[in-house]
Chains A and B, each alone.
Chain A
């Protein structure tokens, strides 16, 4: 009986095949493999390092950091939904000083490739954050979170307006070293995601992260009031996968040369493969990490196997393949 059981820890990671070239690129950021964590689902890597070696992933995308410490929204902040969850955390975090002092150096020290997600309430705040990250060094890429739904003022969701999105991207691009790619994280809650994507790219984005959560509400039928203290929250998990995948598909079709970091409900290697085939050069595993803390590394192993089973020698050959006729 006990022989069938396994204990997974940082010392015993799933065995991955090494005969497939899993390397990929996100702009000028070269990754040994295409699986990263997703912002807000891995903190700054420290907690997940209890379950696997964070340097084995393509990268760790850190929780969106703001200029100042932030306490977030009131509780309850979470509701489970069919194959998903609604969250209304509201960007609780320690602020950029503590992040640059402790979290980023820790990731670099562990040999992880850090993708730093930044979030600001104004264009000026985004620029200041980018400047601080530039001066500190150590970031392999910047993900610009212009799409967090958990802000009081929907007018501050920059990703809902092409002009605002472009202004933020331009400010961050200017404040970032040329060799560090800047990716804009887009919201699926827009009428025309290609227009937003194009606007971000024209403003200097090196690539796009797609997608953030969808705005949702759950109502408690006993209290007959919204479950979340913040009323609305961001829907994530497999429930949103087809929507996120459609966004990646549309943007890759319109802008085939723009690298995409795909995310939205990826649970397995085959889920990841769907995003790759739709045009993503790499993927982030998010909400599934709450269900299975070793999920990112498992998805990587499963993706490798799935590529091998389909006769691929290189991951890059699969990127966008579903579009070819």
Chain B
């Protein structure tokens, strides 16, 4: 269960083009799982910015000198993140978390390909730790617009069997996108499962490649949110449920992690006509005539702990 914590900034550091903030947030770190996120109130007590900013959890330490800490990575995109980047150690900061459904982990050792775009790689590091603790092999694929927007390449190299890097401008690694590198990595690693986090276009491309290769894929989306706790219905996207029906589900509580083959990427930004409760739609059908595509994941018992959806 998430908590709201009046925490403190412990440290702030630059990592390439990004900023990473560590906050003392007792109660959050102890129960956070890979793929979950926190929301941060920005702008101080009399802020004109009412929307909390959501950030994937990068690193947690359950027992620090000051209590549990949570680190998250951000890029300065607007006034809220600019305010965050200007914080000093010991300043108070309001944290809510951990929020959302985490990544599901395989029951038995498996070969896992982790795919990240930009600082979308951040939540993949605690995931990698959890996977390695279960004896999984990690193959890392990361891409960004240019070299300084890659996040964590050195760490990724240290923890993975192979690291593939792509940049849009070719400044380092393969000149192209992660989707250009992924098919070869899947084939050579004999991947059992893929985990991805990054921009929606990347997640869509990764999900397509995995579907074609018959490899289960979990993706963590980053949708615009107002509340982060499931109340406001801002962050919805069309997702196919276990019953084959499409619903507009909340990425904050029903996600941010989804099975890639369940997200209707082409219909994001619309209400599909066959979605439950769509305008002027026929009454929702009880079930599709052809059941939702059975993924190899289910056949192999992967991802195993508990299917996220």
A residues at B contact (CB < 8 Å): 1-2, 4-9, 40-43, 47-48, 50-51, 68-78, 80, 82-85, 87, 89, 92-93, 95, 152, 229, 237-238, 287-294
- Give the shortest distance, in Å, between B81 (CB) and chain A (any CB): 13
Residue-wise interface mask of B (207-226) relative to A, using a CB-CB cutoff of 8 A (1 in contact, 0 not): 00000000000000001111
* A89 near B50: Cβ-Cβ < 8 Å: no
**Chain A residues with CB below 8 A from B41, complex form:** 291-292
Q: Given A40, A68, A75, which contacts B268 in the complex, CB threshold below 8 Å? A: A75
Known A-B contacts A2-B24, A2-B66; the reply to A43 vs B231 at CB < 8 A is: yes
Choice from A1, A41, A48, A70 contacting B66 with Cβ under 8 Å = A1
* Chain A proximity of B2: nearest CB distance (Å): 6
Residues in A with CB closer than 8 Å to B269 are 74-76, 229
Contact flag A69-B276 (CB < 8 Å), given A5-B5, A92-B233: yes
Instruction: Give chain B nearest CB distance to A235 CB in angstroms.
Output: 12
Q: A42-B231, A87-B234, A290-B52 are in contact. Are A5 and B8 (CB under 8 A)?
A: yes
- The answer on a CB contact under 8 Å between A5 and B26 is yes
Please name all residues of chain B whose beta carbon is closer than 8 Å to the beta carbon of A47 when the two chains form the complex. Answer: 229-231, 253
Q: Contact between A69 and B50 (Cβ–Cβ < 8 Å)? A: no
Known: A43-B230, A75-B235, A291-B52. 16 other contacts (CB 8 A): A5-B7, A6-B5, A7-B26, A8-B5, A42-B231, A71-B279, A72-B248, A75-B236, A78-B234, A85-B51, A92-B277, A95-B277, A152-B279, A291-B50, A293-B227, A293-B229
How far does the Cβ of A22 sit from chain B's closest Cβ, in whole Å? 24
Q: Judge if B57 is at the interface, Cβ distance under 8 Å.
A: no
A73-B271, A78-B226 known; A288-B50 Cβ under 8 A: yes
3 nearest CB pairs, A to B:
A69-B277, A71-B277, A78-B234
How far apart sit A43 and B228, CA to CA, in the bound complex (Å)? 13
Partner of A2, one of B4, B48, B67: B67
Name the prevailing secondary structure of the A interface residues: loop
Bound CA span A51–B52, Å: 16
Does the CB pair B50–A83 fall under 8 Å? yes
Cβ proximity bits B237-257 to A, threshold 8 Å, 1 near / 0 not: 100000000011000010000
**Alpha-carbon gap, A238 to B6, bound state (A):** 23
Q: Which B residues between 1 and 34 are near A, CB-CB below 8 angstroms?
A: 1-8, 24, 26-27
- Chain B residue contacts of A8, Cβ below 8 A: 3-6
Q: Is B232 an interface residue (CB 8 A)?
A: yes
Q: Select one of B51, B66, B253, B268 contacting A80, CB under 8 A.
A: B51
Known: A7-B3, A7-B5, A71-B278. A87 touches B236 (CB 8 A): no
Query: With A and B bound together, what is the CA distance between A229 and B277 in angstroms?
Result: 18
Asked whether, in the complex, the Cβ of B229 is within 8 Å of the Cβ of A50, the reply is yes
A and B contact pairs by CB, cutoff 8 A, 21 listed: A1-B8, A1-B66, A1-B90, A5-B67, A7-B5, A7-B6, A43-B230, A47-B253, A51-B2, A71-B278, A72-B236, A74-B270, A78-B226, A80-B49, A89-B233, A92-B248, A290-B52, A290-B232, A291-B41, A291-B51, A293-B227
For A293, list chain B residues within 8 Å (CB).
4, 96, 227, 229
> Is residue B275 within 8 Å, beta carbon to beta carbon, of the partner chain?
yes
CA distance A132 to B96 in the complex (A): 37
Cα A229 to Cα B267 with chains together (Å): 13
Contact surface of B with A, Cβ cutoff 8 Å: 1-8, 24, 26-27, 41, 47-52, 66-67, 90, 94, 96, 223-227, 229-237, 247-248, 253, 268-271, 275-279, 284
Are A5 and B50 in contact, with the CB atoms below 8 A? no
A53 to chain B, nearest CB (A): 14
Which residues on B sit within 8 Å (CB–CB) of A82?
Answer: 48
B212, chain A: closest CB distance, angstroms: 27
Contact status A78-B224, CB under 8 Å: yes
What is the minimal beta-carbon distance from B69 to any residue of chain A, in angstroms? 11
Contacts of A80 in B (CB 8 A): 49-51
Q: Which residue of B lies closest to A1 (CB)?
A: B66
Residues of B within 8 A of A5 (CB): 5-8, 24, 26, 67
Distance of A70 from chain B, by nearest CB (Å):
4
Question: What is the distance, in angstroms, from A115's C-beta to the closest C-beta of chain B?
Answer: 16
- Given contacts A1-B90, A80-B51, whether A41 and B24 have CB atoms under 8 Å apart is no
Task: For residue B107, give the distance in angstroms from its CB to the closest CB of chain A.
Answer: 29
Across the two chains, which residue of chain B brings its CB closest to A152?
B279
Rounded to whole Å, the gap between the CB of A69 and the closest CB of chain B is: 4
Inter-subunit contact B276/A41 (CB<8 Å): no
Contacts of A76 in B (CB 8 A): 224, 269
Evaluate contact between B1 and A50: CB separation under 8 angstroms: yes
Chain B residues with CB under 8 Å of A70's CB are 277
User: Looking across the interface, which residue of chain A has its beta carbon closest to that of B47?
Assistant: A291
Which residues of chain A are near B67, meaning CB under 8 Å?
2, 5
Q: Most chain-B CB neighbours within 10 Å: which of A41, A50, A229, A287? A: A50
**Residue on A with the closest CB to B51?**
A80
Distance between Cα atoms of A213 and B6 in the complex (Å)? 30
Q: Which residue of A lies closest to B42 (CB)?
A: A291
